[in-house]
Amino acid sequence: MKGSIIWRSGKAKKKGGIGTHVTAITKRRFLPNLHEVKAVVNGEVRYVKVSAKAIKRGLVTKPAKRTWKKEAAQTKS
């Protein structure tokens, strides 16, 4: 989405000034709130960039927590 940043200077009339005036307007972009999460995609667990809105809505299926332990690391001799 596009928008603009508006810079103003001066003191508001309510606060005893002569009013604020626009001094500059520049373009800006509104970017989605992306998170990198583990998700199940086509039966595989993958890291996927997903918007926070999709996570809140439950559109992302997260993998089940693993219950097994890693084997003891074997040292090379």
Looking at the structure, tell me whether residues 23 and 4 fall in a common domain: yes
Q: Could you list the residue range(s) of the whole structural domain that residue 49 is in?
A: 32-63
User: How many CB atoms within 10 Å of residue 39?
Assistant: 19
C-alpha distance across the termini of the chain, in Å:
59
Task: Tell me the β-bridge partners of 3.
Answer: 28
Q: Is residue 77 in some structural domain?
A: no
Does the pLDDT of residue 76 top 90, yes or no? Answer: no
Does the pLDDT of residue 34 top 90, yes or no? Answer: yes
- Stretch 23-35: mean pLDDT, rounded? 95
Number of domains in the chain: 2
Q: Is residue 73 in some structural domain?
A: no
pTM, two decimals, is: 0.55
Q: Is residue 40 in some structural domain?
A: yes
Q: Is residue 50 in some structural domain?
A: yes
Q: What is the pLDDT of residue 56?
A: 94
Looking at the structure, tell me whether residues 26 and 7 fall in a common domain: yes
Q: What is the pLDDT of residue 54?
A: 94
